[in-house]
Chains A and B, each alone.
Chain A
Amino acid sequence: MSWLEHTVFIATVLTLAHPLGTYLARVCERRRTFLDPLLQPVESALYRLFGVNADQEMSAVTYACCFLSFGAGCAVLLFLLLVMQHVLPGGPADAYLTTPMTMALAANTAVSFTTTTTWQAYAGENTLRYLSQVIGLVAQNFLAGAAGLAVGFAFIRGIARQSSATIGNFWVDLVRSLLWVLLPLGFIGSLALIWQGVPLGLSPYTLAHTLEGRTQVIAQGPVAALEFIKNLGTNGGGFFNANGAHPYANPTPLTNFIGMLAICALPAALMITLGQLTQRLRAGWLLLSAMVVLFVGGLAVCEHAERTLPPQLAELHLVGGNMEGKEVRFGIGESTLTTVVTSNSSTGSYNAQHDSYRPLGVLVALTFLLLGEVVFGGLGTGVYSMVMMALVAAFLGALMIGRTPEYLGKKVTAAETRWIALYVLTTPMVVLVLTAIAVLTQAGRAAVSLNSGPRSFTEILFAYASCMANNGLALSGLDANNVFYNTTTVVAMLAGRYGLAVLALVTAGLFAGQRRVASSGALPVDTPTFALLLLGTILLAAAVSFLPALAMGPVAELLQR
């Protein structure tokens, strides 16, 4: 039945894209919405409290500085909370908190959750207090998600506006993203999860006496407060070690479907917001359809890989696909859907253990991480991930026909091209250099002893690709809680979040200063031809950078037998 579920999923995302995109455009442009009577008093009270003049706009550089300072503030607050968590009251009992909250782990977690990466080098149920999870992590799931959406709004404005020195006010975008989007949707979604069985309590771990006369201790906690917003804010880090595979975090196929929808719906809708505000709606739909093509392609390959019994088990007379690390309630279909959704959207909320995937299944997830989250992408950040690639495609297309490159009515001149090129080069530089360092050092290699050969290399490459994409998915055979990985992954997370966002904002600032040109016979960007060019550009850019690395990892493993 998985083809039906996959089709319904994509159809739902596309159906929601227009209404949600229109709503997001209203939030972005501070136009009237039905929630205004309820939220405007809160909004203005917050501005007064912060000392923010909501009508005072910012240049791209000022906007980026505010974004950076907010992220830094959040990281410091979360770090302090984590290192002092032993003084917090409430569960779970100390006996269960077996992983020490070291400085390196606290710093890693603080950066991880404030960059929407939510890479987790710890297991929630034996590391964190309930209150650390709520006051610390739930808050950051909201705030980092909202900050990302704010940057997305600013980026869209930069392309949409003409002769403007400013691209919006970060504090206004942040507050409006929270009040108008994440808090109301987060509340409804969290209630839906509770209805389906996600617990929300502060009681100690439950001691059960089983029918067979033994005991089982069951970890509890305020799980539902985290599990929906982790997806909606495209963060992904779960309450428990097993994340979305844990039956408390993701009890039914419906909760999984809702979670995947929460991840994709807003980033997909932002393509329509972009199209509306730049008055190039067709170009917005075109970007969305290019995403769907990549999505469907990856899903088909991953589904095929995992439906097939691994050859190592061929002689054992087993029936079914590769169920190692997968849950019965999700089966192969919902596991692969989740793999493709999460690896694409900077949301590492997996529901199956990817290290037990077949090499081809891993290759799909890894490729999507390395493409730079262009398919839907992170909340807000996905807009510029895709548009930056579209700018490269427009540039290449223009070279072919010998015209000045244009995109969405803006000329791509030498000034913008410099920043775009830097943007495109950042991901391969960071990922490949860090992977090389890990492979060359004893500390880097010592962490991948569970599996061996090409899979060990893949685990390392996957870790940095995931952190650079602010994704947080992991091949968990990698033992990540040590000083080496706690520090090096931070570098990738910071580069992926702030490095790329600043480059995108600066580019948007340059576009904002331009007048919109009437189409001058340049390459049209809302035709199937451009979609093909865009897809080719995305795949080729990744292939040029990463093919050798992929060949040493999943491809080598694939060819092993």
Chain B
Amino acid sequence: MAAHAHPVVHEAPKGFIRKYIFSTDHKIIGIQYYLLALFSVFIGIILSLLMRLHLIAPNVELPFFGQMTPEQYLALMTMHGTIMVFFVLTTAPQSGFGNYFLPIQIGAPDMAFPRLNMLSFWVTFAALIVMLAAFFVAGGPGGVAGGAPISGWTAYTPLSAIGPIAGPGLGMGQTLWILSLALFAGASLMGALNFITTTLDLRTKGMSLMRMPLTVWAWFVTAILALLGFAVLLGAGILLLLDRTAGTSFFVPAGLVVSDTQIPHKGGSPLLWQHLFWFFGHPEVYIAILPGMGVTSHVLSTFARKPIFGYRAMVYAIFAIALLGLSVWGHHMFVSGMSPYSALAFSLLTMSIGVPSAIKTFNWIGTLWGGQIRLTTAMLFAIGFVSLFVTGGLSGLFLAQPAVDLPLHDTYFVVGHFHMIMGVAAIFGIFAATYFWFPKMFGRFLNERIGKIHFWITFIGVYAIFMPMHFIGLSGHPRRYADTTAVQFLAQLDPVHTFMTVAAVITGAAQLLFLFNFFWGLWKGEKAPDINPWKATSLEWTVPSPPPHDNFQGRFPTVYRGPYEYSVPGAAEDYTPQNAPDTGQTASRQ
């Protein structure tokens, strides 16, 4: 390859459409993903609030929608779960921030395959449109839920496999749901391929693997999980579509009678769907949470002004979590009648995830210990992430044991557990990333005062919503019940439901603060004083805010050190950027 005497600077495309709509710039694509997730999360929140209101007032007629039926409740639940898991928790932390910052943090001008990157965003966009279209087709539960399916985000067979006869929304609504997930899986595969290739091949000089920020490690390992998991989900989705449309019997058992009608399929295995789905579905939990772990490490180190405690252990722990995460899908199926020996194996593997998780938690606390902690909003959300990760993780240890899982399965305990860990912990990772990187992405700060109010209401709010779920779960409250008034022992738990609903409404309203802060900050936020307002070390803080089209204007940095050199003894300042040369006297340049 020819050597260059001058930097190769790439002009950004000129037209609005090429620059902002069909852009191949990873930064624009990252923002597109983020905005898609932001739109989706508010739909998800509205759906959950409607459910929570229905739970405390099942007989009240909602304005515009009328009284909610149980089927409508189930459809809202299905769409809430699906939209949140795929279009928020998978999209924002990985595709959003990963797209924006992975290339910059490793010193690359863009993703390895920019056009594939653009394609993967637009396929994700199409997937969202198809998913939302399910609300507007016929044959559903109607009302607020429209034509949406009622089979949950896991779409268990045979319920999801035999068409409209199985219930409202299971005709066209369910078909659209599967098509949407197939599109989403395809887009995620393209994205994962891009992330891995970029990380392996486009690191700048000196950026050895063990000098990569932990965010990059998290996005990299997440992409590996996505590459392996989404491929299987795609296959499973095709089998399910064939069962629904081509008359095959992969998942539909023989002799199935629904609504007095014999279903003309034979010999399929409903459990096969569960195996295929959870082979993807459990890694999906880590696809949602690992990027948050990376961001938390990054933010904690920055605002504790200390190197991350045990960098290598953190890297190995990410790998251990991912590897174990690929082999524990059976713990979602303890009540499926699986062999106790299989259950034991799945159980032991699941509980062993506690070890790398504990390593990470220990190291986060070790990072904070003795640090000069600056409680910025980003830092608060990162600490909040650690809190939620511990809380949600500990209840996972209960559920990992078959003997405990049998009574707790399909109760609110499970709902509380996964909302804590993959729901709000991952959301806290997104918030930490947003408050932390906003000045880099837009050159302006988010308002810290509003940010802190947002944090405290959200932090206390999510505990108020999801902790009581563990208790009503322990007392036997099943999940997915639309109306508890007719069940006497559940009626006693109504005050708890009321408490959770009030907490949910307040916490949901607090997110409007964030929305205001975000859009106000875009145009009116306080301008960042320089390119590195947090005095941080990684490469994104060495380029302008926002970074130019190819990030480094053709002058790619050389990396001399690891990503977390804070408060190095003898250094002139308490941080040493990764591209500061080894002069024997670190960070002494003024």
Q: Do A and B come from one complex?
A: no
